[in-house]
Amino acid sequence: MQMKNILEKFDLIGNQSGVSTGDWLTCRGEMLNSISPIDNQLIGNIRTANREDYEDVIQKAETAFTEWQMVPAPKRGEIVRQMGLALREYKAELGALVTLEMGKIKAEGEGEVQEMIDICDFAVGQSRMLYGLTMHSERPGHRMYEQWHPLGPVGVITAFNFPVAVWAWNAMIALIAGNTVIWKPSSKTPLTAIATMKIMESVLKKNKVPAGVLNLVIGNREQVGESMINDRRLPLISATGSVPMGRHIGQTVAARLGKTILELGGNNGIVVTPEADLDLVTRAILFGAIGTAGQRCTTTRRIIVEDKRFDELSERLIAAYKQVPIGNPLDDNILMGPLVDREAVQTMQKALERFKTEGGFPLYGGEVLTGGIYESGTYVTPCICAAKPGIPIVSEETFAPILYLIAYKGLDQAIEIHNQVPQGLSSAIFTQNLTEAESFLSHQGSDCGIANVNIGTSGAEIGGAFGGEKETGGGRES
């Protein structure tokens, strides 16, 4: 699918407005260029929002909330059901746009749209399950019960690596619960957000949903981001991004006693025990470490392997990495595309240099590729490194395909190494020993929000609580 065909499908040729309330508004902010990491070519231009544009949107969201909260929840669910149907019609095209603008391979782009479809299905069911509780009162003749009410307009701030799925996780649940939604997407992936809103717009208009129920505001941190997190009219902010960003948002929203859902950094580890099936381990690591070019929050970044199996696993992984085709992610035979931009490549290179100065040893990869399509400067070979416990850079999340291998002796030491990083999103253990598996899943084991057995760290499942502990933020999404 060519770039022109993708853009024409969503009427993205020419300058685009970065603000929608269900109707597209004229913006007064700066121009934003969307650049494809595939070849550094310009995809489109977007006029972004300024503070005055944001104010227009929040006022519409407040007004629409008074009407939307009174729509019966199953009827709100029916509208979300139709959104899921609309996404099914555009799955291939929207998935291709995700690939074009963000760089993940085509199968992953379509998979992200499938997550949007799945959360719509889940939310439809949830719209008939907004239960409360009744209880006996100690006061004679008194009835006591609890019920859940909508909050109001809620803010959703998303990152480039999952430019549409994470919005849907939040927005579809918020909509069936009677809230209105204001979405600030990453400025690295604005066109996917615009295309998504155009798909939603047809459903909103068909059902005569008032303007302001579902909103998009594309803008920079100073004009839009700070306005959102400081705005008392947004009782909840759900944000995905880095730990420093999340810390700032959390502190700012807490200062006004607002609520946050924070999904921040991950430094996800896999413990490989003496009884692990190394064929299974190798496949899981390969998918978890190089998928989305190492730019998932659940990317596998650390392998904590029993010392007697370190060499064998290293050899298996190097052999597997050498077979990974790297190139244009729109091609069906490619398994790893580019990093999101040259800045991400520079961050990776700096991390590897620091790793070596701190005593680490690269085993394979880490080069910046050149020539042909690689001239964009965004393609790298995924890297495998031999590390020791306590190397400082290993405790930090580098958003790139760098995999650290660390040897251990005894399961207690493995869990200690696993838990010594400040992040706590996803984790896994590979073993055929039930006692080892149960120890890892127990309160004495992984300190992450997600723990797996004999499957990798990467991915999420609709309906399960997705999120982490420690510096990952403590929030949970559906």
Residue 373, Cβ neighbours under 10 Å: how many? 15
Q: SS3 for 142-157, per residue?
A: CEEEECCCCCCEEEEE
DSSP, collapsed to helix, strand or coil, labels residue 248 as helix
Integer angstrom CA distances of residue 173 from 79, 89, 119, 299, 451: 12, 21, 8, 25, 24
Please tell me the distance from the alpha carbon of residue 109 to that of residue 113, in angstroms, as a whole number: 7
CA dihedral sign of residues 235, 236, 237, 243? positive
- Residues 6 or more apart whose Cβ sits within 8 Å of residue 168: 115, 116, 119, 120
* Active site positions, annotated: 263, 297
Among 458, 442, 410, 130, smallest CA distance to 269 is for: 458
Please tell me the distance from the alpha carbon of residue 121 to that of residue 231, in angstroms, as a whole number: 31
Query: Tokens 């997550």 appear where?
Result: 115
Contact 344, 411 (CB under 8 A): no
Beta bridge partners of 156: 183, 238
E strand spans, 222-273: 236-240, 259-263, 268-272
